[in-house]
Amino acid sequence: MKFRDGMWLVAEGKSLEYAEEVYSVTPREDGKALSLLCPTRKITQRADTLNLSTLTVDVGAPFDGAIFIEVTHWLGALNPGPHFDLYPAGKPETSHSSITTSEKTTTLKSGSISATIKTADHDFDIRFHATDGSKELTSLLNRSVGIAYGPAPSNLMQTSDMRNLHHYIFTQTTLGVGESVHGLGERFGAFNKVGQAVTLWNADGGTSSDQAYKNVPLWISSRGYGIFVDTPDKVELEIGSERSCRVQTSVESQRIKWYIIHGPTPKDVLYKYTILTGKPGKVPAWSYGLWLSTSFTTSYDEKTVNSFLEGMKGRDVPVEVFHFDCFWMKAFHWCDFAFDSEMFPNPKAQIARLKASGLVKKVCVWINPYLGQASPVFKLAASKGYLLRRKNGDIFQWDLWQTGMGIVDFTNPEAVEWYVGCLTELFDKGVDCIKTNFGERIPSEDVQWHNSSLSPKKMHNYYAFLYNKIVYEALQDRFGENEAVLFARTATAGTQRFPLQWGGDCESTPEAMAESIRGGISLGLCGYSYWSVDIGGFEGCPPPWIYKRWVAFGLLCSHSRLHGGNSFRMPWTVDNDDTSEHGCSKTLSKWTALKARLMPYIFAQAQDSAEKGIPLSLRAICLEFPDDPTSWFLDRQFMFGDSLLVAPVFEESGAVEFYLPAGKWTSFFTNQKKTGPGWFKEQHDFDTLPLYVRENTVLVLGKWGETRTVYDYAKSVEICLYNTKPGAKATIVDCNGTEAGVLEVGEDGYIVDQEFLTGAWHVTRDGRSGGHSKK
């Protein structure tokens, strides 16, 4: 929201007041925070203290490497929940904090970051900088903290009745020359957010708009810090778009709180951010295999489902998970958890036969948190108080999506218990994982939650956290802590704890594939380790060339799913069953086999990613190369773990241009070497793309011909050395994620510490073929 009309004028219908000076500084008793009294005019005489607003600015050290800022206008205003679930693993001690004062300043230190507050000369000036003095990060300067009213009151007497006044509070942090801003959830527009106005409000807007399914109030700066806005409320940001040298953050409230988190690297920022909001959960090895979803309009009778899976098997495409989308339930009954009896006369037996056939190992079903009134369960849920109500006591209903649908009220513990019971019945029938769709269009006006103390406006975004948490924990209770898997569309801060997420409804175009990549790398910069996409696009019918390019990209995401809207995504339906080497079926078979061979690398990297709060794939290039200015603008390529660079192809011709950061890089497919930094052009058929291995990498691959995702990752492996130096390492984990051993390159260039390897393992140098081998 813009509050000004250019540099000089106030926006029409608004009034503004700014913190003009720091009048007094009061340390907190524990010595870890300061309270600043900041009047909205400069105080030069006693009479200046009357008839004006003041802002209280609290500055504190919550844990080493982070500082919080909380700006409050009226301290007596309520601060209703919900609030983000912070420090889920426990709050760390603040062991390196202090407060020092001088004649003109007060400095709060919190580990590697400090805030220096000017206390003289009637100025408002707060500088955030590295404690060692090496770098200034950002600042709050003159006219950077304030309140706004809309419509503008003509005198303060009008504020006695706030019912028709909108009250906003805002901060403006400075943007340095050349600074870029990234993150803020799964955003499909330009990767660098400078110049954009961003509203954090979950919405079902597809991938071709400025709306987002997953709004996360965290942004990361190329200057080595991040800012997390601690509210699930609607947050509006003007990122160099009101004042080109500032990021304005505003909320309609009496207070705003945010944390500035020091890196100095973006990986460090994410690690500390996930101390606040939680580490990503770990997901089982089988989930990295291919998921087959057909179209959401499919009729799922047993003969149809078997024909899909037999077709995949006959084309050498192993399927790990089969997903039943919407119509496993009756039309108009979504989502009452009841299998359509015409398609599933005995769903438990049908699922058991499906798994016993060997065509698939796991089964997933689609759900949402709504309930259509045509289902007999609707009256039960309504009578028990399980559904969200309007303020007059009516059940909240509308005809958007499902006729007369209600919304499950997860603030009611009895509703949660009922919902979990429905999930448990699905698990009893053989369901292994859940696609948690929807949860974005949650009303914020004229509604009353069961927990009436909660703010309906804050519940709009926070609902995503509750919904996914309830389903994820039900899966954990049934299958085990690291065996739970979601396929979730909506999210907010902290939802990374309940993996995994996918990118929503994209079109079947190369432009939509690029949008999806931007969304994936942006979400990864908010602490999400796993991400997937509808391979081939959800909307429309992809031509064969787009399908094949998307298959190559999709199998190099952390998780890979074929899914369409009104058209199928089995390869033979796309190209009339072209059986040539470059047909859709052979292309899909080759890429699923490649991902299977990469599993020793992928699964080890996955454990590391979850522990550090960083993305496995799609990982923005800037996370690995933050000192390369170009890396902060790369939005058509990504890292898969710390050693593989992926550049998808967007042209039917196979032409692609990509960037390699500094160092020696080796093509995974050809073993040809390139030296960065620089831009390169290549031409690719459908079975390759620019997949480059970073120098000093020990890349462990499964044996040739391996097509499974779950196997012994230390048996009969190929150990590929890429321009390695003594000390280069690779960790191997077993299929449960437990470390099996560490391979290290010795001073003589050979692999040491290999006792845990079994089978006919071998070593190759300078790529995947030739060189020295040993058993």
Please report, for the domain that includes residue 294, its CATH number: 3.20.20.80
Count of the separate structural domains present in the chain: 2
Residues spanned by the domain of 363: 285-612
Given a contact cutoff of 8 angstroms between Cβ atoms, the answer to whether 613 and 273 are in contact is: yes
Nearest Cα to Cα of residue 74 among 23, 25, 17, 26 = 17
pLDDT given for residue 772 in this prediction: 33
pLDDT given for residue 773 in this prediction: 34
Q: Which two tokens stand for residue 551?
A: 């298959």
pLDDT given for residue 769 in this prediction: 65
Low-confidence ranges of the chain (pLDDT < 50): 770-775
Residue 633, domain member (yes or no): no
DSSP state of 495: G
pLDDT tens-digit series, residues 299-357 = 999 999 999 999 999 999 999 999 999 999 999 999 999 999 999 999 999 999 999 99
Instruction: Indicate the pTM of the whole model.
Output: 0.97
Q: Are residues 194 and 314 in the same domain?
A: no
Scan for tokens 């790398």, then name that residue. 521
Given a contact cutoff of 8 angstroms between Cβ atoms, the answer to whether 692 and 666 are in contact is: yes
pLDDT given for residue 44 in this prediction: 95
Q: Are residues 183 and 330 in the same domain?
A: no
Interatomic CA distance for residues 600 and 135, integer angstroms: 40
Peptide bond between residue 326 and the one before it cis (omega within 30 degrees of 0): no
Scan for tokens 């390169």, then name that residue. 680
Q: Are residues 179 and 309 in the same domain?
A: no
Residue 651, domain member (yes or no): no
pLDDT tens-digit series, residues 579-634 = 999 999 999 999 999 999 999 999 999 999 999 999 999 999 999 999 999 999 99
Nearest Cα to Cα of residue 181 among 219, 233, 136 = 219
| H helical segments located in 455-598 | 456-479, 510-524, 544-554, 571-574, 584-597
Q: Which two tokens stand for residue 23?
A: 């009048």
Q: Are residues 184 and 139 in the same domain?
A: yes
Q: Which two tokens stand for residue 123?
A: 């100025």
pLDDT given for residue 312 in this prediction: 98
DSSP state of 31: S
Given a contact cutoff of 8 angstroms between Cβ atoms, the answer to whether 115 and 101 are in contact is: no
Given a contact cutoff of 8 angstroms between Cβ atoms, the answer to whether 236 and 218 are in contact is: no
Q: Whats the size of the chain, residue-wise?
A: 775
Interatomic CA distance for residues 728 and 349, integer angstroms: 51
Residue 733, domain member (yes or no): no
Interatomic CA distance for residues 359 and 337, integer angstroms: 25
Q: Are residues 207 and 339 in the same domain?
A: no
Q: Which two tokens stand for residue 524?
A: 């990864």
Residue 724, domain member (yes or no): no
Residue 661, domain member (yes or no): no
DSSP state of 165: -
CATH code: domain of residue 128: 2.60.40.1760
